[in-house]
Amino acid sequence: MSFCLYYDLLSQPSRSAYILLKANKVKFDAKEIDLMKGEHKTEDYKKVNQFGLVPFINDGGFKVIESVAILKYIIGKNKLPDNWYPKDLKSQTRVEEYLRWYPTGTRSACVNLFLEMVMIPKFTGKPIDQEKVKGHREKVTEMIGDLESYFLKGKKFIGGDKISIADLLGVCELVQLYGCHEHGLYESSAVVKAWVENVKQETNPHFDESMAKINHLHSVFLNESGQK
């Protein structure tokens, strides 16, 4: 098979690509790259992908390194149902609007909190900086407010009544907070919590399958922090 997905299910955008492929029964060669082991930095992987990123696709020599472009390529290549990237102008514009906001909105807020609570302590041996955590929590709370009051206002999904890649990308970022026991930040919003559940229902069992590494991190975090 010539279509290969290089991914790590610890990576939020990787999970989005994985779920999209699985939910639509698209066949692909799965190439797992373990980020925690630094496999993305090896010379062997750099020969395949000079940027050392995941997700990454190689479709018979056609390579794509950016997650939104990867998702759109998967949709076009496999002629997936229109809901994933709507043709209707207004729905498509809502999806695009979120995709442009997402890197500095949902992704930035969630990534920074996750890094501060999990990755930085793990790789530096330093204790969690509670002042920085407080600031990142505030950013997540602000972002949740934006989701509730604007992007999801009066809607089931970002584009309207049907799930799209905007929903996959956004929810995969939010559930990353489960890995550091901070999911209560988004669950405090009934609107955002319902959105997360709607995306899970539309994509299960593949969504739950993709969460294995995050669930493991959640257990480890609770054990190391003495929480229950």
For 110, the token pair is 């969630």
| Proportion of the chain above pLDDT 70, given as a percent | 98
Q: Which of 57, 78, 58 is nearest to 67 (CA)?
A: 57
Residue 121's Cβ-side half-sphere holds a number of Cα atoms within 13 Å equal to: 15
Q: Is the pLDDT assigned to residue 50 strictly greater than 60? A: yes
Q: What is the pLDDT at residue 123?
A: 87
Q: What is the pLDDT of residue 222?
A: 79
Mean pLDDT score, 92-107: 98
Report the C-alpha gap between 64 and 55 in whole angstroms.
Answer: 9
Residue 114 scores a pLDDT above 60: yes
The domains of the chain are located at 3-80, 89-225
So what's the architecture of 89-225 in CATH? Up-down Bundle (1.20)
End-to-end CA distance of the chain: 45
Asked whether the predicted pLDDT for residue 174 surpasses 80, the reply is yes
Q: How confident is the model at residue 224 (pLDDT cuts 50, 70, 90)?
A: confident
pLDDT at 221: 79
Per-residue model confidence (pLDDT) at position 227: 56
Asked whether the domain spanning 89-225 has the same topology as the one spanning 3-80, the reply is no
pLDDT band of residue 190 (cuts 50, 70, 90) is: very high
DSSP letter assigned to residue 188: T
Provide the strand spans (E) within 61-185.
Answer: 62-64
In this predicted structure, the answer to whether residue 228 has a pLDDT above a threshold of 60 is no
Residues 192/148, Cβ–Cβ less than 8 Å: yes
Q: Which two tokens stand for residue 114?
A: 């996750």
| 128-165: pLDDT as tens digits | 999 999 999 999 999 999 999 999 999 999 999 999 99
pLDDT at 226 (0 to 100): 59
The confidence band for 1, taking pLDDT boundaries of 50, 70 and 90, is: low
| Average pLDDT, integer, range 23-45 | 96
Let me know: does 146 contact 110? Beta carbons within 8 Å.
no
CATH class of 3-80: alpha beta
Task: Name the pLDDT band for 91 (thresholds 50, 70, 90).
Answer: very high
Residue 122 has pLDDT above 90, yes or no: no
